[in-house]
Amino acid sequence: MRGIMTPSPARQRGAGILTMLVCIALFGAVALSALRLAPVYMEYGVVKKELQAVAAELDGERVPSREVWRRLAKRLDVNNVKDVGEENLVVDMVDGERRIVIEYEVVRPFLANISFLLSFRAEAE
C-alpha cells in the first residue's frame, strides 16, 4: 500500500464560507432584479401587442389621435397597464401611412435608494 498516494487533508479544500456568502449574495441580487423587472417587461409586451391590435383595427380609417388613445386605453385598462398615459402617445403620418408610437419610462425601486429606470418604445403602422 505504499505506492498509493492519498492526498493530505490540507490540500482537499473546498469553497470557504466567505465564498459561499458572496455567491448567495450575487444570486440574491440577480433573483431580486428578475422579480422587479419581469412584470415591467411583461407589461411592455402587452402594450406592444395592444398597439398592434389597435393599428390593425384602424386600418385605413381616418380618426383623430384622441380616438386612437380612447381605443388603446380601453385595451390597456383591461390588461391593467398603469404606466402608459395619453401623453406618451404620438400619432403622425409618414409617407401617407399613419404611425402610432408610444414612448414611456418606468422607474422601479430595487434596493434601498437604488432604482431601475427603463425606457420603452413601441411603434405600429
Pick one of 1.20.120, 1.10.357, 3.30.1300, 3.40.50 as the CATH number of 39-124: 3.30.1300
Residue-wise pLDDT tens digits, 39-81: 999 999 999 999 999 989 888 778 888 988 999 999 999 999 9
Determine contact, residues 79/103, Cβ cutoff 8 Å. no
Angle between helical axes of 65-78 and 17-57 (0-180°, round to 10) = 130
- 7 pLDDT band, cuts 50/70/90, is low
**Whole-model pTM?**
0.77
HSE toward the beta carbon, residue 14, CA cutoff 13 A: 2
Q: How far apart are the first and last CA of the chain?
A: 80
23: exposed, middle or buried (C-beta count within 10 Å: 0-12, 13-18, 19+)?
Answer: exposed
